[in-house]
Amino acid sequence: GESVGLHLPTLSVQEGDNSIINCAYSNSASDYFIWYKQESGKGPQFIIDIRSNMDKRQGQRVTVLLNKTVKHLSLQIAATQPGDSAVYFCAENGIKAAGNKLTFGGGTRVLVKP
Amino acid sequence: DSGVTQTPKHLITATGQRVTLRCSPRSGDLSVYWYQQSLDQGLQFLIQYYNGEERAKGNILERFSAQQFPDLHSELNLSSLELGDSALYFCASSVDQGKNTEAFFGQGTRLTVV
């Protein structure tokens, strides 16, 4: 069945360094992927998305890379700041899924050390 | 603030009881979604409504039901509650119903069943 998973449950990073969060997905038919950030006590917040016809997309301080060959997704955060401390989820919306059903990965906690 | 309002923020109830969670979507959004976030299952899609009609369904228990009203607010009803139903319940909304539509999440309702 469809599933989205993460390799690293916790990532500690020094303030100012770059962070890389990885995600594997199993549904080769997935055509849309999203990264969400969830801070303590809040709901998930959209960060960036990418369609399957792209392999890279950049936002403000964030870059998402998609490798369809190995079904792998990553989120890179440049110059990580204390405010980046949160749990990050990848999610996918399967091509055959009705509506806008998102399948979320297990999440990676990012801890930024001052 | 995402613009999605959920009430109540916290709810403590006993096993066997029934509760109703409420969600007001962002102004102009026609689609609402319900997700359950638990420690062992992560973020799980429950159900989606669009303009009052059910649009997509996830692994929602038969004890759970939802509806979207003409004013577009939505309610999630949880009955015959069990300890395992303790979780964060998120509502999200989006302008459109289909894939690749950004969904904005509320702050969630934390349900504790004792």
pLDDT tens digit string along A32-50?
899 999 998 899 999 999 9
| Amino acid present at A100 | N
Residue in A73, A1, A36 with CA at minimum distance from that of residue B37: A36
Are A92 and A33 in contact, with CB atoms under 8 Å apart? yes
pLDDT at A98: 63
The SS3 assignment for A19 reads: strand
* Mean pLDDT of the A3-32 span: 82
CB contact under 8 A, A98 and B55: yes
A49/B100 Cβ within 8 A: yes
Average pLDDT score, chain A = 88
Which pLDDT belongs to residue A97? 58
- Poorest-pLDDT segment among A8-12, A17-21, A40-44, B46-50: A8-12
Distance from CA of A41 to the nearest CA of B (A): 7
The token pair at B19 is 């509760």
What would the mean pLDDT of A66-92 be, rounded to a whole number? 95
B-side interface with A, Cβ within 8 Å?
Answer: 2, 4, 31, 33, 42-45, 48, 50, 55-56, 58, 90, 92, 94, 96-108
Q: What residues of A are in contact with residue B25 (Cβ under 8 Å)?
A: none
Question: A95 falls in which pLDDT band (50, 70, 90)?
Answer: low
Q: What is the pLDDT of residue B78?
A: 98
**What is the reported pLDDT for A101?**
83
Instruction: Report helix, strand and coil shares of chain B as percent, to nearest 5.
Output: 5, 55, 45
Note the pLDDT tens digit of each residue in B28-70. Answer: 999 999 999 987 778 999 999 999 999 999 989 999 999 999 9
Kindly state the tokens that stand for B97. Answer: 């119903």
